[in-house]
Structure formats: structure tokens, C-alpha cells
Amino acid sequence: MRHDQRQPNELRPIRVQRHFTGAAPGSVLIQAGRTTVLCTASIDSTLPPWKAAANPAEAVGWLTAEYSMLPGSTAPRKKREREKMDGRSTEIQRLIGRSLRAAVDFKALGGRTITVDCDVLEADGGTRTLSITGGFIALCDAIASIQGELPADQPVLTKSLAAVSVGVINGIPVMDLDYIEDSTAEVDLNVVMTGNGEFIEVQGTAEGKPFSREFLNQQLDLAAAGIAQLTRLQREALGTAWPFA
């Protein structure tokens, strides 16, 4: 048993509240244990200059992501990133953007930019993976809000995706590490996968001694099981708005 009485293959309790705010077409408050992230997805009818096409009819869309930890999300207080973003936040928002772009047909999206904002309200481990999982739900709602403007025969979303952390604690692979576990883990692994079990990104680090291929395979199997659970939770949260058959 782990310090919070979970089994090695058990997620923290996940709570999802869609339409948490009214300004963005996609807005999701998602919680895993104490970790809490507000994910919003906004749509702009313009493109970055480097992405714009000479003929608007040939324009191909884009998705970008931003990530931040609010000052009160950690103890001691994290300084607000007013002028320069720290390297960790930059790396995480790039991961979120890369991951979510893997699910989008940008030709079907057309000349639009989707921005997914992930703001951490409370951090207790797994903020990047929870941002991706919640960001996908917000993305689904945002795209649904313009469904009447999109090609009926060409879905914008081509696959679902979610992310989970796994690691090794006292020689045992475990799923969905909180801060206490993450700070002492022998291995730290973040895995992004599609709902049908394909890998999008794997980030892994040996925090102490190197780990074997056997341990890597065990962690990837654990991650796949976690992604399957998260996909079911996403589908339940979206209900009739789930964009796949």
C-alpha cells in the first residue's frame, strides 16, 4: 500500500467539472487528489503570421498551449511569471501543445487558432499530465461550439488522448504519483497516449540509479492501464459530446 492507501495501479480520485467559466467555449476544472487545474480552450478566427496562407480557402489551422502555476498553488508561494517564464513552465506548455496537436486535423479546422490555457490552482504532483487530460476535454467542447462551421465529412478531432505519470517507489512501479511520491521516486515517467493505446510522448528519468528495460516495460504497461481509465473518465465527463463513435 502507498502512503495514501492506494494500490500501485490506482489513480487518485478524478473530478471533472465542464463549463467552469463562461468566457471560453471550452472550460474544465479537473482535479486529481489535491492537484487542481483550470483548462480553457479558446478559438480565434486568425492564424499566426507564419501560418497564414495567401489564399484563405487553403488556410490550415493551428493549436498552441500555455501553462502556468498560480502563486498560491504551492507552498512556499511561487512567484508570478510576469515578464519571463521559467524553463519548467516553457517545457510543460510545449509538451501540452505537442500532445494536443496530435489529435487535430488542422486542414479540417481551417483558418483558426485554438489556444489551450492550463492554470494550476493547486499543485500536488502530476500537473503536466492532468493539464493534458483536462485540456483535451476543453478542446472537445471548444470544437463542438463551432461544429456548424466545420466540414461535416471531415472531423477535426481524429483521436482521443490523455496523460498519466508513473514511477518506481521502493522498487515497485506505481501510477499517478503525488508530490510526496514524486519527490522520492527512483524513476519518474510521464506518458501521453491515445485512447486506443498508441504512444504520443514518453518522458522518463532515472532519479538515482539507472533502470532496466524490464522496469521500463512494466511502467509503460501501467501507464497504458491508467490511460484506459482516464479515457473512460473523459468519455463519461463529455457524455453525448464525446466526439467519437
Digit-coded pLDDT (tens) for 72-88: 898 889 888 776 778 88
E strands in the chain: 14-18, 26-32, 35-44, 62-69, 113-122, 161-169, 172-175, 187-194, 199-206
3-state secondary structure 56-75: HHHCCCEEEEEEEECHHHCC
At residue 54, does pLDDT exceed 70? no
- Which residue, among 21, 39, 187, 54, has the nearest Cα to 114 in the 3D structure? 39
Diameter of the chain measured on Cα atoms: 60
Only one residue has cell 500536488, namely 124
β-strands 14-18, 26-32: how paired?
antiparallel
If 0-12 CB within 10 Å is exposed, 13-18 middle and 19+ buried, where does residue 80 land? exposed
At residue 52, does pLDDT exceed 90? no
What 3-state class would DSSP assign to 38? Answer: strand
Q: What pLDDT is attached to residue 59?
A: 83
Q: How far apart are CA 126 and CA 128, in angstroms?
A: 6
Quick one: what percent of the chain has pLDDT higher than 90? 84
Provide φ and ψ at 113, rounded to 5°: -115, 130
Classify residue 92 by its DSSP letter: H
Domains of the chain: 14-241 (3.30.230.70)
Phi-psi region of 183 (alpha: psi -120 to 50; beta: other; left: phi over 0): alpha
At residue 25, does pLDDT exceed 90? yes
